[in-house]
Structure 1
């Protein structure tokens, strides 16, 4: 155990796991606050339409990603300038404060305070992009994809424990004083523990500090710059459609579970925990079994298409337990896609540019993730809560098509 505490990869796993555990705890709770009038946790006034709840939920989810869109490249460059560890700590501190504000917002039934809480979390939430840069700092070329799988494994483990805890901690049938605020107090406490572990055990990995001018409009400029980078443009475009498609799925899948199969908060938490187990198996175990001779391009040609197909299949389920047969394959396909896209982008940047390029990539991902929640609420309100699943499958199919076409073009050139 002592040797593991000296390993940056292990400490990053713990750090990301705690951060995503706090995020995963919220998954079964937020839909009950805005999109399920039958829930005792429902916050909207009597008579408010379900469609209004869908739209509010979408806006709250979008706010987080809009903030990430503007802040990720700035924080990525700050980590190039001042070091990874300081920025990770600032991110964790912001999460701790935002969870407290969110809990008070629920307690006082203040939707404004809930929006403020999400804004605080959005401005400071940089742990993934900076963690990606940290992994790039310490990874050899041959180990890079496997080490990026650590993020996916921690993500999966956070989804195993987080949603289960969220459903459990918000259920007063288990403990009388449990309620919708309890998961947020718990998530804030986890963030504090996480900060202590980073202070004590995570070494600074950026030994090539670079001083670059930082501007508030960096994210907008970076989007334009990204799509003018010929060597990365195709990958950025592929990742944009992949992230947008998968966010359409994750944003309203809990609503799909509620409206089609009448899932409770506890049931939603249990289902996402099941999905998380397979994400963890995919990126923490299966990804490491892939021989180095199998390159990322070959994997992505299969995994992107498979992700699209398995999302679409969920739309055609007739009973809830059929989802349990689809979830493992979807999790594996998504896990392989996520890790290999990140690794391929990272390999295209020099070591001194890792923070900037991964921050730029996270900015693209944040833009891709901000758009679906903004419009998913309206789509669900106008059409049906199941509609975002169809759009999700279509967008990921487009990502696969772009990747196939651009890769074929490069091979032919």
Structure 2
């Protein structure tokens, strides 16, 4: 088995899983904000913005469930069959999505997006695959490339949609089908068949007992979860609804949204290269600063005109990239005794949960004004930044107390 093929397969899976989530972002806002009614944007006579919010939330719901189930299932049944099955199944999900758009069937569209998200929640399996097969510095480097691939997916999804939409609204989804099937073929060639597992527990017991959300029973991890949920709720409010803001305030079409998103994700990718470099400022303090800056960018979109909003949308990628690079590494150092995989899984699962919460909240708040959900996102990220500062002082106080106790005992 060639290591280069193994890493390529894992990174392709990472890119395609985020492409699946981000592909509709430039497609859906013009569709649901269209003046002409159709069976998609007027299903059961419901408001188009409410239908839009539900459509946004259903894929992350699938990702949330899939990320909690597919990893433990791969421990029991093997990485190869789970990765093959999820890649092929996600390809089928994209095909059904295309069919639903042609038929203008909102229920079928929602079903397809949920199934696609469920099967694309295989990021933990891809990480486990690399951890299983690689060691030492090569493992660290491969996992770093995998994280970069997730960023690339957020860039590639909207770009793919914008570039291929000129041939029809379903073409982006058929392109994803072909890419996923090619990835499945690469997995089949790269990963050897595995020995049958001798685990006696059921798949449900494995998924339940190993789920990352079990960590919230520890007070310090519960604090991390609350802070991360608040910050990512702000981020997902921004991700999910700035395209709709562009449609309403700038008259942008899908191609225009795709290029703005490309600028945002391009800056985020470049920033991630420099985010991990050594710095004299304490990591958690830097995390707090970048959370404040991200909140400021979101607020500028919510209160600004089209030009200020465009600049803020793109510049948001800078602090968000630094935040996402610094917080996981700090958590790995501080809480690694809980298991690196479990801690990273908690962070990923929190992001999926935030997607669902803010998509549903936005479905209601955008009925008032799209800017309301953006300003709520800015407020939540600001609160997270403030709470990080309070938490930092608390942790430093505990360390000082422990040190004093040790000195007194000696």
Pairwise TM-score range, normalised by the shorter structure: 0.7 to 0.9
- Contact 1:28/1:265 (CA < 8 Å) preserved in 2? yes
**1:81 has 2:76 as partner:** yes
**Aligned position for 1:100:** 95
**1:110 has 2:111 as partner:** no
**Aligned position for 1:374:** 360
Deviation, structure 1 residue 218: 5.7
**Aligned position for 2:4:** 5
Deviation, structure 1 residue 388: 1.2
Residues in 1 aligned to 2:36 and 2:20: alpha-carbon distance in whole angstroms: 25
**Match for residue 24 of structure 2 among 6, 23, 26:** 26
The structure-2 alpha-carbon separation of the partners of 1:75 and 1:315, relative to structure 1 and needing over 3 Å to count, comes to same
Deviation, structure 1 residue 371: 0.9
Residues in 2 aligned to 1:106 and 1:392: alpha-carbon distance in whole angstroms: 30
Give the number of the structure whose alpha-carbon radius of gyration is greater: 2
Q: How does 1:9-408 map to 2 (within 5 A)?
A: 10-37=8-35, 43-45=40-42, 52-134=47-129, 149-171=144-166, 178-201=167-190, 214-215=203-204, 225-283=214-272, 285-288=273-276, 290-291=277-278, 296-320=283-307, 322-347=308-333, 348-349=335-336, 353-381=339-367, 383-408=368-393
The structure-2 alpha-carbon separation of the partners of 1:216 and 1:26, relative to structure 1 and needing over 3 Å to count, comes to farther
Higher share in helix: 2
Q: Across the two proteins, how many residue pairs are aligned to each other?
A: 395
- Contact 2:71/2:122 (CA < 8 Å) preserved in 1? no
Deviations 1:205-237 (A, max 9, x none): 9xx998765438966995873321234222222
The structure-2 alpha-carbon separation of the partners of 1:319 and 1:373, relative to structure 1 and needing over 3 Å to count, comes to closer
Residues in 2 aligned to 1:113 and 1:13: alpha-carbon distance in whole angstroms: 30
RMSD: 3.6
- Structure 1's unaligned 5+ residue stretches are 172-177
Deviations 1:251-282 (A, max 9, x none): 11111000011101111111111112112112
Residues in 2 aligned to 1:227 and 1:266: alpha-carbon distance in whole angstroms: 41
Deviations 1:168-217 (A, max 9, x none): 3222xxxxxx2111111111111112222333346899xx9987654389
Q: Provide the secondary structure at the position in 1 that maps to 2:217.
A: coil
Q: Provide the secondary structure at the position in 2 that maps to 1:227.
A: helix
- Contact 2:69/2:207 (CA < 8 Å) preserved in 1? yes
Q: Which TM-score applies when normalising by structure 1?
A: 0.82
Q: Which TM-score applies when normalising by structure 2?
A: 0.83
**Aligned position for 2:406:** none
Residues in 1 aligned to 2:354 and 2:43: alpha-carbon distance in whole angstroms: 34
Deviation, structure 1 residue 15: 2.8
- Contact 1:226/1:360 (CA < 8 Å) preserved in 2? yes
The structure-2 alpha-carbon separation of the partners of 1:143 and 1:299, relative to structure 1 and needing over 3 Å to count, comes to farther
Give the number of the structure with larger relative contact order, counting CA–CA contacts within 8 Å between residues 6 or more apart. 1
- Structure 2's unaligned 5+ residue stretches are 399-410
Deviation, structure 1 residue 131: 3.5
Deviation, structure 1 residue 115: 1.4
- Contact 1:28/1:268 (CA < 8 Å) preserved in 2? yes
- Contact 2:30/2:247 (CA < 8 Å) preserved in 1? no
Deviation, structure 1 residue 380: 0.4
- Contact 1:15/1:198 (CA < 8 Å) preserved in 2? no
Residues in 2 aligned to 1:303 and 1:141: alpha-carbon distance in whole angstroms: 29
Residues in 1 aligned to 2:201 and 2:56: alpha-carbon distance in whole angstroms: 31
Deviations 1:3-59 (A, max 9, x none): 872563x543333123333443322112233233359x983359957xx11111111
